[in-house]
Structure 1
Amino acid sequence: MLFKVKLKIVEENEVKNNKKLKEMNQKSVEGTAKYSSAI
């Protein structure tokens, strides 16, 4: 039972981390696009 709860917490953390990574990737892509268009 405790193991399932722990697993759920880990899954939720992974989802949050994936969202953060996607946002960071999106920002870096946008930053790169702005940078390359500025050149």
Structure 2
Amino acid sequence: MAKRGKRYETAVSDIDYESVYEPQEAVAIAKRGATAKFD
């Protein structure tokens, strides 16, 4: 089985899969976890 990447692990580290988020809070979490790597 393939390992998860470091960027993926840091992006999902603050997500609690047992809770339900409000839309604004969900977008804020997604923006904190978003990292784009452009050359």
Please give the TM-score of this superposition, normalised by the length of structure 1: 0.33
**Which protein has the larger Cα radius of gyration, Structure 1 or Structure 2?**
1
| TM-score, scaled to structure 2 | 0.33
